[in-house]
Chain A
Amino acid sequence: GIQVEQSPPDLILQEGANSTLRCNFSDSVNNLQWFHQNPWGQLINLFYIPSGTKQNGRLSATTVATERYSLLYISSSQTTDSGVYFCAVETARDDKIIFGKGTRLHILP
């Protein structure tokens, strides 16, 4: 089946820093989403981005479907950005949703 790999697995940054999170996938996908899971377990939808670039405030994402990767950029990090960031893909082969293992981000005040 499709492999979804996220890097880095863990990231510790000072407040105000910028970061780039990466998601690689091994097969064609119909769509890709980025989520933020807060410390209470709630998954918040950040971007639905099967291709191209989108921006929402301090966050932006780029997916290059032909090269099978997506990037999530966080600028001017705040402590509330802490949590786990997941990418999830819908496989083109059988329409199943597969999550990566996530990047755990910790922003220090």
Chain B
Amino acid sequence: DAGVTQSPTHLIKTRGQQVTLRCSPKSGHDTVSWYQQALGQGPQFIFQYYEEEERQRGNFPDRFSGHQFPNYSSELNVNALLLGDSALYLCASSSTYSDTQYFGPGTRLTVL
């Protein structure tokens, strides 16, 4: 049973560019949440997707958008990258029958 997977593992972009990160949830899970973790900080909630719709959103600008596909996998898109967007981006999946979240290994984004 595969856990939560994310791709790519590392990514380097320049300011102003756009990036897409991908997440496949744990088998049997239908809810995907995205988090941003800056160095030395705790993860910060970006948004959550369920049934292909954004269900919750944290305090992030509209440059951060997402999508969930019918197979429950998800993408996080960030437009007009800023230096401050450099962080570890974590995806977590859960089930409507259990609130326990399981995290993927993360994508480390560096913006130069």
Contacts and interface: CB of A to CB of B under 8 A. Distances in A.
Task: Please indicate whether A and B come from the same complex rather than being unrelated chains.
Answer: yes
Q: Chain A contact residues: over half helix, strand or loop, or mixed?
A: strand
Nearest to A35: B103
A88 B35 CA distance: 12
A39 to B, nearest CB: 12
B108 A97 contact: no
A35 B37 CA distance: 14
Residue with the highest number of chain B CB atoms closer than 10 Å, among A35, A41, A43, A88? A43
A61 to B, nearest CB: 13
13 contacts: A33-B101, A40-B105, A41-B37, A43-B90, A43-B92, A44-B103, A45-B101, A88-B43, A96-B45, A97-B101, A99-B43, A99-B44, A99-B45
Given A88-B43, A98-B45, 14 more contacts: A31-B99, A40-B105, A41-B88, A41-B106, A42-B105, A43-B90, A43-B92, A45-B103, A86-B43, A88-B42, A97-B33, A99-B43, A99-B44, A99-B45
Interface of B: 33, 35, 37, 41-45, 56, 58, 88, 90, 92, 98-103, 105-106, 108
Interface of A: 30-31, 33, 35, 40-45, 48, 86, 88, 90, 94-102
